[in-house]
Structure 1
Amino acid sequence: MMRNILLLIIGLYVMACSESSILGDEFIGDDSFDLSYIDTVSLELSTLRYDSVITSTSDRLLLAYQSDSVFTGMNTEGYFLLAPASDNTITDSDVFDSITISLPLDGYFYNLEDYVSVNVQLERLTEELESRAYYNFSNPSSINSSKTTLMNREVKFYADRDQDPEVRIDNAFGESLFNLYQNGSDKIETSSEFYQYLKGLQLSITSDESVGIGLVADSIRLRLYYTNHTGDTESQSELDMYVSGSPYFTHYSYNQPQRFESIVEFGDQVISDNTHHASLIHGGLGYRTLVSLPSIEELTLTGKNYVISGALLKLFPVESTDDLPETIYATYVTEDLEIISSSSLIVSLYYDDDHGRDTFFAIDVSDLIASMFADESTRNYSVVFDLDDDLNNSISNLWIGDETYRSELILYTITNK
């Protein structure tokens, strides 16, 4: 691993030399410059929280419950609409049999190695989902509708099986829906008629231990089974309704942990000194790690003519609820937390296979540091760290240690002798 880090540092230096006009032919063999590094640049880690995390743009509908030393009784609910069936062939002579819901797994599991048994609840909303036409649901969204329970069953979810659970739900609801698809004066013929009848559904789970299960939202399916009578023969047929193309989102319900109780609105921060020298990144709850560099301004006041040839930010993880991710992501922000980087930056994991003590995330921040040295107005810029987009609708989380856990910024500089 150390060989990889050395190559990274050399790469930073070569890259800087190739881009700086100061580091041209005059530098090579010139005794007027001194190449060195500074490893005592202080870091300040804080935890902040986004006001809302958009979950309607995620492909996932999350069923989860989390209870640990930080979060007690956090749970999620998945809200969704179904599109009406596009191929209704139900006739007057057909007879309703049953109705089921299919729960397609997307491969995300939290705290599940083989299988888990949880109680799954399906509830019918009596009012339309808020702002349904705009498809712009976020966490937290206000859910004001009363509900009617359609299903409350124990379901087994397997981590290594291709088959998705298909669960029977309330027959009375199924028969009522079947009757509206059948010929008659109340037959459903348009989408608006369907949405007027079925305004929305909610999925949730109850569990005695922390668990998370990701569903492919678009593929959630309600299926009507019915018997088709043609002459003297009988055959079973199905009519399917999918979420596909309809609004959905995941709602997170939780109590603010005591250590983060001072975070009331976006912009509020809790420094790592008050959270056991670590900062939290939590996917679905919107907690993110903010790294500030207050000592950069002090370096600019020393009177030395620094040229930044490389800057390496190393962050040591303290704890992760899952296996450590191979990458996390970073964005540069202003003092007001406005994003200034054009895209998210990849932060790579360097894993110590032998002991794990030297496992850390690293990112080249040479461009940010060079800007902070060159422009006084940028010296309050910081870096926000985030999980992969796929985990931003999840209960996966990661604690990043501060300087107590050896997180550091290493500057490679060239100065006039």
Structure 2
Amino acid sequence: MRKVTLSFSIFALILACSLDTSEIPTLEVGQDFADSNVRVISLDSFTVAVSTMKFDSIITSGADRILVGQYIDSFFGEVKASSFMELSPLVYDLPSDAELDSVGLVLGYDRYFYSDTTQISNLNIHLLTDDLRSDDDIFYNTSKIPFDSIPLATYTYVPEPQDEDSLFIKLPFEFGEALFEGIRDDDINDVEELRETFQGITIKPGDADNSSIIGFSSDATRSYLRFFYRIPQEFDDDEETLDFVIQIDPIEPKLFNNIQNDLPNSVLDTLIDQEINLPSPESNNLSFIQAGTGYASRIQFPTIKQLFDIPGQGTILSATLRLKPPPSTYNDNLPIRDSLTIVLVNQNNRITEQLFFGGEPVFGRINEELGEFNELIYEIPIGVYVDRELNETNLVDDAFIVYPPEFGQSVDRVILEGEEGNDFKATLVLTYAIYDEEE
């Protein structure tokens, strides 16, 4: 098979055309081609096959964000995030005469939110009834730990992630007293003894909430379980605090987020296995991406080897994929991010590698100059991927997928138009130089 090479060092004189090259004039480009006749053409007629796939699960442990909330999405249905965490003190030491005053949970906003923060939300704090451990020391968006069905506390609020620093949720005195006295009286001296009394908590949204999903920091200085206590003195009591925090442990994660969506009677219901692809022509010419729940857009170029039908030797100067989210699918409450991550997958949709060029990862970026009427279009430079596909000798059903950064600790979503749109369709724009053309 004739090999097509990829070059980004050659300057390009671009003429728009399709695969029919009969009307393209011959251009003399100069010494780079050793006095050969060169034609530089821009091709945009290759088929771009766009589909949706869904990961069976994605890793959410090891994240530095607590995600809690629920909202109803017109595409993904009920989207819900709950957080599971183990909290423990850095030191197990209290004065023997310390007296507990109160206990509460502090959650520091990390400025992340998704959907409508003007609506009332609920936080239900439940005690775990089992240790936060897993067989492989990894937790996923589908993982769960048993918990007491009766909330320890419920907090109703209107989120202000951009304007406020934190929330304070008061917890029952009796709950705090048992833990506090256990440490003070030397009955609890380490994490193993603590787990016999306190395995941790889960924070869940209200069952009927339709508001937003909020991000809180897991940093020990921002979110913690705080015990307020005093030391009796002859005149004024000293006021002190003891904090239980989420401790960083690379071996045994202490935090994960369960993130799910429920959308009955939808075309997305067919994605019950990671190996299934939902072509965009079968889903109203749309492809669906959502972080946290595991949806991603899958891209292939089934007609790319038609490039070999052009006579002569050729060099790919550039290859750019253009994808458009319909303007009606995003707004201030449901924003889209300005970049997309690109990873390669095999025929079973197992990730094989991230796409790199020149030692740097390749990202899709929004090019606002391409859109009309404030429309946004993603551009993805995929010359290195196209070159690989052209020179692949085996018939392999691989592809690449796109999804937002922070895929395991957000619920960002993007809806993309597929390959059969009337006003816009997913397009591969390829700039190609032909030289040593056969007469």
TM-score interval (norm. to shorter): 0.7 to 0.9
Q: Which residue of 2 aligns with 1:204?
A: 204
Indicate the SS of the match to 2:126.
strand
Alpha-carbon distance in 2 for matches of 1:54, 1:237 = 38
Indicate the SS of the match to 2:388.
helix
Pairwise CA RMSD of aligned residues?
A: 2.7
Task: Determine which of 267, 273, 278 is the counterpart of 2:275.
Answer: 267
Note the C-alpha offset of 1:162: 4.4
Q: How does the TM-score come out when normalised to structure 1?
A: 0.86
Task: Determine which of 406, 409, 413 is the counterpart of 2:432.
Answer: 413
Q: Does 1:105 align with 2:109?
A: yes
- Given that 1:39 and 1:408 are in contact with CA atoms closer than 8 Å, whether structure 2 keeps it comes out as yes
Q: Which residue of 2 aligns with 1:55?
A: 60
Task: Determine which of 122, 125, 128 is the counterpart of 1:125.
Answer: 128
Counterpart AA for 1:235: D
Alpha-carbon distance in 1 for matches of 2:165, 2:79 = 28
After superposition, the C-alpha distances for 1:300-339 in whole angstroms (9 at most, x for unaligned) are 3566644322211111112336333221111233334342
- Given that 1:120 and 1:204 are in contact with CA atoms closer than 8 Å, whether structure 2 keeps it comes out as yes
Counterpart AA for 1:222: L
Note the C-alpha offset of 1:42: 0.9
Task: Determine which of 206, 222, 231 is the counterpart of 1:228.
Answer: 231
Q: Which residue of 1 aligns with 2:352?
A: 339
Q: 1:17 to 1:97 in 2, by over 3 A?
A: same
- Given that 1:151 and 1:169 are in contact with CA atoms closer than 8 Å, whether structure 2 keeps it comes out as yes
Q: Does 1:295 align with 2:299?
A: no
Q: 1:94 to 1:105 in 2, by over 3 A?
A: same
Note the C-alpha offset of 1:190: 1.6
Indicate the SS of the match to 1:230.
coil
1:158-197 pair list within 5 angstroms:
158-183=160-185, 187-197=187-197
Task: Determine which of 144, 148, 151 is the counterpart of 1:149.
Answer: 151
Counterpart AA for 1:332: L
Q: 1:189 to 1:143 in 2, by over 3 A?
A: closer
1:41-80 pair list within 5 angstroms:
41-80=46-85
- Given that 2:127 and 2:151 are in contact with CA atoms closer than 8 Å, whether structure 1 keeps it comes out as yes
Q: Which residue of 1 aligns with 2:87?
A: 82
After superposition, the C-alpha distances for 1:25-72 in whole angstroms (9 at most, x for unaligned) are 3626532x3221211111110000111111112211101202122233
Note the C-alpha offset of 1:248: 0.6
Note the C-alpha offset of 1:350: 0.5
- Given that 1:110 and 1:395 are in contact with CA atoms closer than 8 Å, whether structure 2 keeps it comes out as yes
- Given that 1:309 and 1:412 are in contact with CA atoms closer than 8 Å, whether structure 2 keeps it comes out as yes
Residue segments in structure 1 that go unaligned for 5+ positions in a row = 1-11
Residue segments in structure 2 that go unaligned for 5+ positions in a row = 1-5, 13-28
Counterpart AA for 1:76: A
Q: Does 1:361 align with 2:378?
A: yes
- Given that 2:343 and 2:354 are in contact with CA atoms closer than 8 Å, whether structure 1 keeps it comes out as yes
Alpha-carbon distance in 2 for matches of 1:130, 1:37 = 55
Note the C-alpha offset of 1:373: 2.1
Note the C-alpha offset of 1:372: 2.1
Q: Which residue of 2 aligns with 1:329?
A: 341
1:375-414 pair list within 5 angstroms:
375-377=392-394, 380-389=397-406, 391-403=407-419, 404=421, 405-414=424-433
- Given that 2:71 and 2:115 are in contact with CA atoms closer than 8 Å, whether structure 1 keeps it comes out as no
Task: Determine which of 253, 256, 260 is the counterpart of 2:260.
Answer: 253
- Given that 1:127 and 1:146 are in contact with CA atoms closer than 8 Å, whether structure 2 keeps it comes out as no
